[in-house]
Structure 1
Amino acid sequence: MFSLSVNDHVMIAHSLPHEFFGPAQALHGATIAVEVTFTREELDEHRVVLDIGEALALLDEALTPLRYTNLDEHPDFAGRLSTSEAIAEYIGTDLSTSLADRPEIGITVHLRENPRAAVSYTVANRP
């Protein structure tokens, strides 16, 4: 198995309006570090998992709709909690759509909202 990881970050605002989330119920900002790992069993004809420049561009395209946005007002999060897990799923789904013509490439999104906690989402069963 081969892998390529690229990273970036995104600054968002959101609230998690349920008592389960304690003080995070209130509107607050977050800078989220994002790392995406692309995998494949065999290298392509160019002997790469994915071109690094393309991987960076794909990640930037996935993050652009989230940058400096209040996710409480973002149409893709309307009516659902914008937890780190949900944000990772959103990014993974976007990347999966962008790579729909290359289903052999696996995608895992790793988010870190603070130095002590991280979440990951692996896109399952690529078409």
Structure 2
Amino acid sequence: MTSAHTPVFRISVDDHVMIAHSLPGDFFGPAQQLHGATLAISATFEREGLDEHGVVIDIGMATSLLSEVLDDLRYRNLDEHPDFTHKISTTEVVCQHVAMQMAQALPDQHGLRALEIAADEHPRARASVRVELGH
């Protein structure tokens, strides 16, 4: 249980991914057509207090984890990606995919309480998802 005086720390790392996809249905207007997108992705790691090294998570490890997860999506048509079969690859769904992959890739005993993945579609639009982690 969190005490009212327990500080909660967050650290974020950034990367980007270039994808192609289409979004079926009239709801998506011109985005129904196959098009490319560059998503600026940030991963934010959160924990109560700091670890024995005085950090939330090692920045190098966090950067590597994000890069490795995004490598599977880079320069791919998500319409043909097996993880997006029967899914509409909206920015929100891409965020969820990245978050779940990141959560699985974390080392045991990570001590984190949450992970947030955000994706900027362009400077005026972004989506994010927060995953509570059992520690």
TM class, shorter-length: over 0.9
For 1:109 and 1:8, locate their aligned partners in 2 and report how far apart those are by CA, in whole Å.
11
Please state whether the residue corresponding to 1:88 is helix, strand or coil: helix
Please state whether the residue corresponding to 1:104 is helix, strand or coil: coil
- Tell me which residue corresponds to 2:19: 12
- Tell me which residue corresponds to 1:109: 117
For 1:51 and 1:116, locate their aligned partners in 2 and report how far apart those are by CA, in whole Å.
30
- 2:57 is the counterpart of 1:57: no
Indicate conservation of the 8 Å contact 2:115/2:133, yes or no. no
Cα displacement string for residues 19-65 of structure 1 (whole angstroms, at most 9, x for unaligned residues):
11000000000000001110100111111000000000000011000
Cα displacement string for residues 57-108 of structure 1 (whole angstroms, at most 9, x for unaligned residues):
0000110000000000000001110000000000000110012623631200
Which moves more between the two structures, 71-80 or 116-125? 116-125
Percent of aligned pairs with the same amino acid: 51
- Tell me which residue corresponds to 2:126: 118
Structure exhibiting the larger radius of gyration computed from Cα positions: 2
For 1:79 and 1:86, locate their aligned partners in 2 and report how far apart those are by CA, in whole Å.
12
- Tell me which residue corresponds to 2:42: 35
- 2:87 is the counterpart of 1:95: no
Structure 2 residues not aligned, in runs of 5+: 1-7
Aligned partner of 1:114: which letter? Answer: H
Please state whether the residue corresponding to 1:66 is helix, strand or coil: coil
Q: Give the TM-score taking structure 2 as reference length.
A: 0.90
Which moves more between the two structures, 92-101 or 22-31? 92-101
Indicate conservation of the 8 Å contact 2:23/2:32, yes or no. yes
Structure 1 residues not aligned, in runs of 5+: none
Alpha-carbon RMSD across the aligned residues, in angstroms, is: 1.2
Indicate conservation of the 8 Å contact 1:63/1:91, yes or no. yes
